[in-house]
Amino acid sequence: MKLSKAIIRLIETAVTAQKGSYCPYSRYRVGAAVLTESGRIFSGGNVENASYGLSICAERVAIFNAVARGHRALKAICVAASAAKPCGACRQVMIEFSAKDTELYLVDLDPSTGRQSVTKTTVFRMLPSAFDPIASGLLPPNPKNLLRAGPARRRTARKPKRAR
């Protein structure tokens, strides 16, 4: 598989982010990086907490970093770990900021050999029948990317018509 320079940088960023993860309980390091439509790359590592429910996955850290800086359209996502696969919560968050063709790269890092293998898929293939905020009426329809048209318009209550 031939990879563009941007995708190679994305993969390198995810692998580097894995080293910065905080995982004293599971010892399962995960790094992630997202490439936005504007060409910016944001990264994240998983962060655990003694109260396990307060932990957060690397994928969501990377996505939330991008969103917090105003980048809401993702072109590609990369996850780096031993047996890298995003959890269900991360897959749903990915859907929120992805188009049908948003690429997903899974980098499986073998700690015993130091080798890595890369699998390419799409976000939508990873979560068939995802909760769809457009179909539910929460976001306006947009065929390319859920948020590319801008934020969802607030629904305002209409004034009732006066009886004549």
Q: Would you please indicate which residues are annotated as catalytic (active-site) residues?
A: 59
Tokens 């939330």 belong to which residue? 64
Q: Contact 79/91 with Cβ under 8 angstroms? A: no
Phi-psi group of 70: left, alpha or beta (phi > 0 → left; psi -120 to 50 → alpha; rest → beta): left
Give dist(CA 102, CA 110) in Å, integer: 26
Q: Contact 98/125 with Cβ under 8 angstroms? A: no
The backbone torsions φ and ψ at residue 138, rounded to the nearest 5 degrees and listed phi first, read -80, -30
Q: Three-state DSSP class for 42?
A: strand
